[in-house]
Amino acid sequence: MGIDKHQVQRQFNRSAAQYDNLATMQREIVDTLMIELPESLNVGIARARVDNNSRSDNSDCENSDSVVICDVGCGTGYALLQLSNIYPSAKLTGLDIAPAMLQAAARRFSAGENTALRVELLQGDIESLPFGPSSLNLCFSSSAIQWCDTAVAAKQMYTALKPGGSALISSFLRGTLQSWRALWGNNDQRFLSLAEFERAISSSGLVLDRLWTESYIQSFDSFHGALKSVRNLGAGNASAARPKGLMSRARFADIRAQVDAIIQQNGVIELSYQVVYAKASKPKASNKPKVSKHRGANE
């Protein structure tokens, strides 16, 4: 099922102002993904620092071994700020489809002038990364790739990564908000199953080093609390096939009555999220010499 990118952009532009106040789960997902940062990056950073220090003062050329990192779907910059602190010598880019999210990220970095100078914020689509082939050491993408064609996005990451580079990805899987979406009749936006996600990553050329899943449940004691959480976290219906008309007042009132009944019976309504984590890498180029076989005249 296709995703309406303009709707995704609208949803995240609308939610940018309140996103950090409500994104507790998204921050937990980022923190979990951060644990898997590759050790090889630290080696690359150290080598780049040595190379930089060995240059003459008159050298204006850029170090070709500098470590380059992109937070793909950076949102308000929560992960990007952590990456800038962990890798203070790296070149970092934050990419997001929503201008309002990038504005929020810029405000997050404005307090640290030196850090802000090292971070570039770009508006763009994950399915068309603005990087040349083999230019990145790390693609970090948390809670973003589900709003794209995952196979296309993974292939873009593969192309942009240097041989030996890493991709750290988290995404929502089928079953996310299933009961909530059923109430609204919005079951046409289909998240991938775990098997489909794995195939999408592997088909790109990336090699999966680790793949695992976790479930998150958020509880709300009011209809508006649950509704605000879903909307402000950009998790509304972005399917290209979604109904385009406004929902009638009667239909909205009926959904609210159903939610209120669930809360009255259980004390809360639970929203469930199924999350997949992937640590992948782009294979290094083979160092083995090519052997040519020549047949003799008598063979």
112 burial (CB, 10 Å; 0-12 / 13-18 / 19+) is middle
Question: What tens digit of pLDDT does each residue of 192-201 get?
Answer: 999 999 999 9
pLDDT at 272 over 80: yes
Q: Residue type at 148?
A: C
Question: What tens digit of pLDDT does each residue of 116-133 get?
Answer: 557 899 999 999 999 999
pLDDT of residue 68: 95
Show me where the domains of the chain are located.
Answer: 5-54+64-173+188-216+275-281
Question: What tens digit of pLDDT does each residue of 38-62 get?
Answer: 887 765 555 555 455 544 443 333 3
**Element holding 74 (H helix, E strand):** none
Rounded to whole angstroms, the Cα distance separating 79 from 168 reads 12
Query: 281 with 167: CB under 8 angstroms?
Result: yes
> Can you state the percent helix, strand and coil of the chain, rounding each to 5?
45, 20, 35
Question: What tens digit of pLDDT does each residue of 226-245 get?
Answer: 998 887 766 555 444 444 55
Q: Spelled out in words, what is the top-level CATH class assigned to the domain 5-54+64-173+188-216+275-281? A: alpha beta
The string of DSSP codes covering 244-285 is: -SPPPHHHHHHHHHHHHHHHHHHSSEEEEEEEEEEEEEPPPP
